[in-house]
Amino acid sequence: MHTETLGSIFLNSLLINNFVLSAFLGICPFLGVSNKLDTASRMGMAVTFVMFVSSMCAYGVNVLLLWIEAPYLQLISYIVIIASAVQLVEMFIKKFSPALFRALGIFLPLITTNCAILGLALFQTAKGYNFVESLVYAIGAGAGFTLAIVLMAGIREELELTSVPGIIKGTAIVLIIAGILSMTFMGFAGLA
Amino acid sequence: MSTPASHTAPNTEPKTSSTTPTNAAPNAPANAPANPGGSAKMILTLGTVGLISSILLVMTYNWTLPYIEANQLVYLEASLKEVLPEATSRTEWRLVGEDMVPDDGSFTIEPRLFAGFRDDGSLQGVAIEAQGQGYADVIKIIYAYAPDCACIIGMKVLESRETPGLGDKIGNDENFKSNFDELDVRWNDERNATEGPLELIKQGTNLSAWQIDGISGATISSKAITDILNSSNEVVLKAIHARLDQLRAPTNE
Amino acid sequence: MSNSAHNTPAAARAASTIPDLVNEKGGMDDFLKGLWKENPVFVQVLGMCPVLAVTNTVTNSFVMGVATTFVLVMSAIMVSATRSFIPKQVRIATYILIIATFVTVADYAIKAVSLSAHRSLGAFISLIVVNCIILGRAEAFSSRNGIKDSVMDALGMGIGFTFAILMLGVIRESLGSGSLAGIPIFGSNYEPWVIMVLPGGAFFVLGFLLLGINAMNTRRSGVKN
């Protein structure tokens, strides 16, 4: 019996429990690829896309694992299926949409080791979402990741134009900005 | 700083920085090996590692399973003790649709219900699992309903991510918890609906038997608990009263 | 395997940017470098997800540190022991399999020892798999060194990681809840800084710690020059 509606699942994963700013998933790309607005938004799109695909795969794998009663294979299967899915998606895009491949291409292999993707697969299983709920959750989480990384990139582009003291440059200031963003996002709690 | 790779193994190669994709998929060698024996060796290696991994995992799983089950039982019994303190034995049920059926272990996500019995075999109450959207994330609770007084006699928060220091008071504020010592969810004459749904009121205002005294500073979390109880009661209470005779029997036949 | 050209996968590429400090003194130095000079959290800034996510209490930090160290050491042994049999092309896949196996073992072990510890860490135990520190050490160190050196390296990195997240845990729990490992330390009059145990606090504490380390390094190099 789920009391969550699709809308509240979406809002939850997009804003209230934002993957980056509240659940701390996908911090590496958030710190690493957020210095340019353009790359950040493409990274966000790539992550959303991969999340959508691996959410579907993870749902299927979980059904299979429950059927053969092998819950201990969950983690291994998820990580293998995500890595394979990323490879297939990459080959597929390369063949059918070179333009999209040029936009997302170099990010795809990086995403395999992004903990947001594995986290999504694990959370949707832990929360017991059905197929449609899982997909909505994946889209919300992807959009939430994109939102966070684009916001951060916007701030960092502005930061380029100001004089920042030497000792706080680099990761330190990004983390402190992320803290402020995270506090801002707390204001969304209670929305769903 | 020391020089890199001074005692590297003989078979390592200089690092390249090509941007070609990872080879995580077992049979997707983008760079086909020169000799045909290469791919056989790769498959063999991955197969062997996979086999060893699976054996190790099955061993761990079988070895830890009894401990994990014992831990889960301890946790469940501690929660039940809190909401049904007088109960010493129980029967387990599941809520399937709008009906409750004995739990034969074949269910996974259906909410659980536990009928708790006193030493003399009388029914103290039924503990019910319920969940709903809170301020931050889904809140999971267990609460006890006593058919004799048609009231809620205990509530415990099992899982919540409410704001520490504010919203999480729903789990540890004694004043709020005391709301659920005897909370009226009485039925009307037709025995098909509660007299009135539970109602959340401001802290310190005069309290009727079906009103919940909220926590100041955690209004949304208190409201969430009220809503969870109301929506769960709507279904569960009918199911309990429909099967009351069966429930009073201390064993599932 | 022949020395045919191979692809450096993305994850390994991230790992190979770590200065490859293999030294002749072996053993002890491999162990010590992880503690401070190459501390995975403060210096290499790797594995940020668990560092931020589970440091709201000292207990969580400790369990996470021990679990990560266990996975690091066990996978270092396996990777190092099998390094001459594994074909280059599938090594990352093999490492991931090995790591995922030990993470699952750690997951079940924690569940068996304490369900409440497992509940409060949740999915973050499973997420050790994608902690870049582990794959990074497997690729950059264990795959090209003997078992003993690899274990020392893994232990050093693991303890360095544990030290770092314990430091965050102590700061966040003492300020945010006025307690350490659940035991109140400031008395009942203390009004906790709730922000410290909230997500925002995690970013702030780590940000200011890095700032402090930067400042310290700047001052030290200033004295030297």
Q: Where are the domains of chain A?
A: 6-186
Residue B136 has pLDDT above 90, yes or no: no
Closest partner residue to C96 (CB to CB) among B18, B24, B166 is B24
Task: Kindly indicate the confidence band of residue B34, based on its pLDDT and cuts at 50, 70 and 90.
Answer: very low
Task: Kindly indicate the confidence band of residue C13, based on its pLDDT and cuts at 50, 70 and 90.
Answer: very low
The complex scores an ipTM of 0.87
The whole-number average pLDDT for the span A137-160 is 94
CA of A31 vs chain C CAs: smallest distance (Å): 9
Task: Say if A165 is an interface residue toward chain C (CB within 8 Å).
Answer: no
Q: Which of A120, A107, A148, A117 is nearest to A18 (CA)?
A: A148
Q: What tens digit of pLDDT does each residue of B203-233 get? A: 666 566 777 888 877 888 888 888 888 888 8
**The predicted structure's pLDDT at residue A105:** 66
- The structural domain count of chain B equals 1
Q: Which residue has the tokens 């809520």?
A: B95
Residue C7 has pLDDT above 70, yes or no: no
Selection from A41-55, B169-183, B207-221 with the highest mean pLDDT: A41-55
B138 located within any domain: yes
Residue B175 belongs to domain spanning: 84-248
| DSSP per-residue letters across chain C | ---------HHHHHHHTS-----TT-HHHHHHHHHTTT-TTTTS---HHHHHHSTTSHHHHHHHHHHHHHHHHHHHHHHHHTTTTS-GGGHHHHHHHHHHHHHHHHHHHHHHH-HHHHHHHGGGTGGGGG-HHHHHHHHHTGGGS-HHHHHHHHHHHHHHHHHHHHHHHHHHHHHHHSEETTEE-S-TT----GGGGSHHHHHHHHHHHHHHHHHHHHHHHHHH-
- Residue B213 φ/ψ, nearest 5 degrees: -80, 110
Tell me the percentage of chain C whose pLDDT exceeds 70: 87
Portion 28-47 of B in contact with C at CB < 8 A: 29-31, 33-35, 38, 41-42, 45-46
**Residue B45 tokens, joined:** 């290696």
Closest partner residue to C100 (CB to CB) among A75, A114, A182 is A75
For helices A37-67 and A74-96, the axis angle rounded to 10 degrees is 130
* Smallest CA–CA distance from B236 into chain A, residue: A1
User: Beta-carbon neighbour count of residue B99 at 10 Å?
Assistant: 13
Q: What tens digit of pLDDT does each residue of A102-126 get? A: 877 677 777 766 788 999 999 998 8
B216 located within any domain: yes
**The predicted structure's pLDDT at residue C224:** 54
**The predicted structure's pLDDT at residue C26:** 60
Range with lowest mean pLDDT among A95-109, C103-117, C132-146, C209-223 = A95-109
* Smallest CA–CA distance from B218 into chain A, residue: A190
B113 located within any domain: yes
Task: Kindly indicate the confidence band of residue B195, based on its pLDDT and cuts at 50, 70 and 90.
Answer: low
Task: Kindly indicate the confidence band of residue B252, based on its pLDDT and cuts at 50, 70 and 90.
Answer: low
B178 located within any domain: yes
Q: What tens digit of pLDDT does each residue of C151-198 get? A: 999 999 999 999 999 999 999 999 988 888 888 888 778 888 888 888
Task: Kindly indicate the confidence band of residue A192, based on its pLDDT and cuts at 50, 70 and 90.
Answer: low
* Smallest CA–CA distance from A75 into chain B, residue: B57
CA of C3 vs chain A CAs: smallest distance (Å): 24
**The predicted structure's pLDDT at residue C117:** 87
CA of A22 vs chain C CAs: smallest distance (Å): 5
**The predicted structure's pLDDT at residue B17:** 38
B156 located within any domain: yes
